[in-house]
Amino acid sequence: MLLMFALSPFLVLGGGALLLMLAEVFSRRPSGLAIGTTIVFITSGAFSVALWLYGIEFLPVGILSPWILVDKFTLFFNVLLCLGGALASLLAGGYLVEYKLNRGEFYSILLFATFGGMMLASAGDFLTLFLGLETMSLGAYALTAFRRASPRSAEGALKYFLLGSFAAAIMLYGIALVYGATGSTDLARVGAAFSHGVVTSHPMALIGLVLIVIGLLFKVSAVPFHMWTPDAYEGAPTPATAYMAVVVKSAAFAMMLRVLLTSFGDAESMSWSAGWPPALAAIAVLTMTVANLIAGRQDSVKRMLAYSSIAHAGYLLVGVVVALRSKEQAAAGVIFYLATYTVSTIGAFGALILLGSYGKEAVSYDDLAGVGKRHPAIAMAFSLFLFSLAGVPPTAGFFGKWFIFRAAMDSGFYWLTILAFINSVIGAYYYLRVLVFMYMREPQPGAAIAVPMQSRHVKAALLLSAVFVLALGLAPTCTLDAAIAAATTFRM
Amino acid sequence: MSTMNLDHFVVLSAILFTIGSIGFLVRRNVIVTLMSIEIMLNAVNLALVAFNRAHPANYSGQIFTFFVIAAEAAEVAIGLAIVLAMFRLHRTIRTDDATLLKN
C-alpha cells in the first residue's frame, strides 16, 4: 500500500490519461476535458507534495531503485512538471476551442507526455531514462503536428521528429558504449565505475560519454543542436509550444542534472583539465549569445519567444557547469530557475494566445501595436511576464538569475558570470521591444488588428502564472528551500 | 567461431552506425532518412547484445534491446503519420522542399 502511495503521482497521471481518453470517446461535449486534465495534473502534483511532507525515508522506495528513484529531486520536478502541464492544458482549453481544433486527444497526449517527463526526472537507470525520454518526445512530436490543416505545423513536426529521433539514436549508442565499458546501465554503478578510472582504460567510455552529452544537449536545445527549436515552436499550436518550452525543457534539464551529477560527477572526470566541463561552458556561452542575437532580429513574437527559450537554456547550462564543481548550491539554482522560468514562459505564451482570436492572431510585433491602450489588463500581464523573463526585480526571473550567477561567482567562474550577465542585458532588448510596441506605437491605418479571444480558461491560467511570478519574486525563500532540499539528493 | 570475438561485433556495429548517420545527413527523402535512423538503432541493438556477452552477470543489455525495438516501432508509427500529414499538405516528402519556416 505504501508502495502504491510512493508511486501515486505516476499512477494518478497515467490512470487519469486513460480515463480522459475514455471520457473523450463517450462525451459529446469535449469542453470539460481541459478542466478534467487540469484536475488530474493538480491531483498528481498534490500527491507529490503529500509524499514530500510524509517523508520519503518512511517509504519502501528501495525496491523501485534504480528504475524509479523517489527522492526529493523527483518530487520537486513532479510538482513543477504538473504545474506546467496544468497551465498548458488551461491554455489549450481556450486555444483549441477558438481555433476549431478541439479534439480530445490533445489532453491525453499532454498527460502521457508529462508522465514520460516525470519518468525522465526520476529515472536512475539508463533503461527507464530512455523510456521516459521516448514517451515524452513522442507526445511532443504529436502535439507539434496537431494543427493537421497547417503546412507549417506538419513541417515543424517533421523537422522536430527527424532531428529528435536522430539525437535519440546518438544518445542510445552512447548508452550502449558506456554499458560496454562499465557493464551496467545503472547510473550509480556507472558513476562508481567512472570514479575507478574506467575513462582512462576504456576509450569507448569516453566516446559514449560524449555521445550521451550530445543527446542531452539536443534535448535542452543548446546551440549547435538547436536548429529544430524555432521551427517546431513556431509550427506547433501555441499551448503545445508553451508546453514544450516549459515541461519538455524542465524534464530534459532534470535528466541532464541527474546523469551528469550521478554518473559522471566524480572529482577526476569533472576536473577542469578533463576537458569537457570547459567544452560545456563554451556551449553555454555560445547558446546564450547566438540565441540572444538571433532573437533580437525576429519579426514574430512567437519565434522570438522560441529563441528566448534557447537563451534561457544557455543560462541554465551555466548553472549545470557550475553544478559540476559545487554540486548543491548551483544545482539548487538550476532547479529554482526552472520553477521561475516555467511560470514566466507559460504566462508569456498565454498572454500571446489571449491577445489573438481566430483569423485575427497576434503573431508579429506589429500586431501588438497599441495593445497597451486597447487592452490594458492583458498588456500589463504580458509586461509582467516579459520583465520576469528579462530578470527585472521584483519578479521571479530576477531571483532565478541571481541564484545561478551567485553560485557561479562563489565557485570562481568569474568570466562565465560576466558573459552571462552581458547576455541577460542583451536579452532585455527584445523583451522591452515588445513593451515599446504595446505602449508607444499605434497600429498602421488599415492594418489588421489582433482581437483578444474570450476565454475563462486562458484568463485563469494567466492569473495563476502572474500570482506565481509575483510570489516567487517577492517571497522566494520557501521554494528556494525546497530546491535546496531537492539538490541535496546529489550530495556524495 | 573461435575467431569471432567482441571486437568484431563492436566494429560491425560502429560501421552500421556510421552508415546510418551518413545516410541521415546525406539523403533527402524522408523515407530513406527514417530507414537510416533504423540502421542506427540496429547498430545500437547489436552493440547492446554483444556487450551483454562480455558482461554475462545480468541480462540488462538484452532487456534493453527489447525496449529499444518496442520504442523504435512506436517512433516509426508517429514518424510515418507526420510524413503522411506532410505529404497531404505539401505533395512532397523531400526534406529540402520543407522551407516554409525559415530563420
pLDDT in tens, A235-279: 999 999 999 999 999 999 999 999 988 887 665 665 665 667 888
pTM: 0.95
Rounded to the nearest integer, the mean pLDDT of chain A is 91
CATH number for the domain harbouring residue B20: 1.10.287.3510
Give start and end residues of each alpha helix (H) in A123-263.
126-144, 151-182, 187-195, 198-201, 203-219, 228-235, 238-243, 249-258
Is A202 within 8 Å of chain B by CB?
A: no
d(CA A324, CA A276) in angstroms, rounded, equals: 11
Instruction: Give tens-digit pLDDT for A421-433.
Output: 999 999 999 999 9
Q: Which residues contact A163 (CB under 8 A, 6 or more apart)?
A: A218, A225, A227, A228
Torsion of CA A327, A328, A334, A337, to 10 degrees: -160
Q: Which of A156, A179, A183 sits opposite B48 (nearest CB)?
A: A179
Asked whether the predicted pLDDT for residue B2 surpasses 60, the reply is no
Q: Is residue B102 part of a domain?
A: no
Quote the pLDDT of residue A232.
94
A183–B82 CB contact, under 8 Å? no
Confidence category of residue A363, pLDDT binned at 50, 70, 90: confident
Long-range contacts of A291-298 (CB under 8 A, 24+ apart): A291/A223, A291/A226, A292/A423, A292/A426, A292/A427, A292/A430, A293/A426, A294/B103, A295/A427, A295/A430, A296/A426, A296/A429, A296/A430, A296/A433, A298/A430
CB B101 to CB A234 under 8 A? yes
Find the radius of gyration of the CA atoms of chain A.
Answer: 21
Q: CB of A338 within 8 A of CB of A316?
A: yes
Contact B101 A159 (CB under 8 A): yes
Is residue A113 predicted with pLDDT exceeding 90? Answer: yes
Distance CA A102, CA A93 (A): 8
Q: Which residue range forms the structural domain that includes residue B18?
A: 6-97
A300 lies within 8 A of chain B by CB: no
C-alpha cell, A57: 525515508
- Residue B74 falls inside a structural domain: yes
Judged by CB atoms closer than 8 Å, whether chains meet at A231 and B37 is answered as no
CA A86 from centre of chain: 14
Q: Tell me, yes or no, whether B14 lies in a domain.
A: yes
Task: Compute the distance between CA of residue A400 and CA of residue A393 in angstroms, rounded to an integer.
Answer: 10
Q: Is residue B77, in this structure, part of any structural domain at all?
A: yes
Cβ atoms of residues A169 and B41 within 8 Å: yes
Most confident of A197-201, A434-438, B54-58, B88-92: A434-438
CB A221, CB A294: distance < 8 Å: no
Chain A interface, best mutation among B75, B76, B93, B99, by max A CB count within 10 A: B75
Q: Measured between beta carbons, which residues in chain A are less than 8 angstroms from residue B15?
A: none
Residue ranges covered by each domain of chain A: 286-492
**pLDDT grade, residue A458 (50/70/90)?**
very high
Query: Nearest-CA residue of chain B relative to A230?
Result: B103
Q: Is residue B103 part of a domain?
A: no
Closest CA to A71 of A334, A257, A218: A257
Q: What is the pLDDT of residue B5?
A: 84
Q: Residue B83: closest CA among chain A residues belongs to which residue?
A: A158
* Spatial CB neighbours of A202, under 8 Å, sequence gap ≥ 6: A181
Flag whether B64 is in a domain.
yes
Q: Looking at A174-188, A265-279, B13-27, which range is the least confident one? A: A265-279
Question: What average pLDDT does the segment A49-60 reach?
Answer: 90
| Count of structural domains within chain B | 1
Q: How many helices (H) and strands (E) does chain B have?
A: 3, 0
Q: How far is B20 from chain A, CA to nearest CA, in Å?
A: 10
Single-letter amino acid code for the residue at B33: T
At A489 the pLDDT is 86
Whether residue A459 is predicted with pLDDT greater than 70 in this model: the reply is yes
CA torsion B22-B28-B31-B34 (nearest 10°) is 30
Please compute the mean of the pLDDT values over residues A430-457 and round it to a whole number. Answer: 87
